[in-house]
Amino acid sequence: MGVRLPAGEGRCDFYEVNIEAGLEALHQSLAVRNWRKRKDLFKPYKFSEEKRRVVEPAESPIPQADITARRTWLTNRIKALPNDAQATVKLYWPQDTPRIADADNDALTRIVKIVEQVEAEIDHPFGEIDPTLPKKKRRASDTFEDAMSEVTNG
């Protein structure tokens, strides 16, 4: 038998309690607690010297000419913003990020995210897409929709 006395309600509720189910839950929770305390579940793996290899850093996947095009694209995108939004971009600019003219591809990506955030805040259209992104492949359905649009509109 269990008793519940809700605070401030001036009443008392009685419940039948399944002691066997409660005892089973106690045993299961103790087993889980003991299992979690085990120290033999994993250990660091030691590589032999012959299996070790040096991983060279990956080269930038974007050629320098494309980075130059991306810098120009990003500069034009910022210039298209209103003056107060350009000031907001400057406020959000991370200290360790160089000017656009000196930025590598990773820094340009960080700057793009800042510009996208500012554009979203002021509900500014995004404009041209990043020139370094792969071109979207046309699907057969796109061609069909274009043809149907020409038929119905033309």
pLDDT digits (tens, 9 = 90+) for 47-63: 776 666 666 655 556 67
Residue whose pair of structure tokens reads 């793996």 in the numeric block: 45
Whether 148 is in a domain gets the answer no
Residue 73 contacts residue 130 (beta carbons within 8 Å)? yes
Q: How many CA atoms lie within 13 A of 51 on its CB side?
A: 4
Domain count for the chain: 1
Per the structure, the complete domain to which residue 77 belongs is given by 64-122
Give me the phi and psi of 15, to 5 degrees please: -135, 145
Q: Pairing state of beta strands 2-4 and 13-15?
A: antiparallel
Whether 90 is in a domain gets the answer yes
pLDDT at residue 6 greater than cutoff 80: yes
Short-list 138, 143, 75, CA closest to 111: 75
Whether 68 is in a domain gets the answer yes
Of 25-29, 56-60, 88-92, 137-141, minimum mean pLDDT range: 56-60
Whether 85 is in a domain gets the answer yes
pLDDT at residue 66 greater than cutoff 90: no
Whether 9 is in a domain gets the answer no
pLDDT per residue as tens digits for the range 69-121: 889 999 999 999 999 999 999 989 888 888 999 988 888 888 999 999 998 88
> What 3-state class would DSSP assign to 139?
coil
Whether 44 is in a domain gets the answer no
Instruction: Please state, in angstroms and rounded to a whole number, the distance separating the CA atoms of residues 62 and 29.
Output: 55
In this prediction the pTM is 0.48
Whether 112 is in a domain gets the answer yes
Instruction: Please state, in angstroms and rounded to a whole number, the distance separating the CA atoms of residues 13 and 6.
Output: 8
Of 66-70, 102-106, 150-154, minimum mean pLDDT range: 150-154
Whether 27 is in a domain gets the answer no
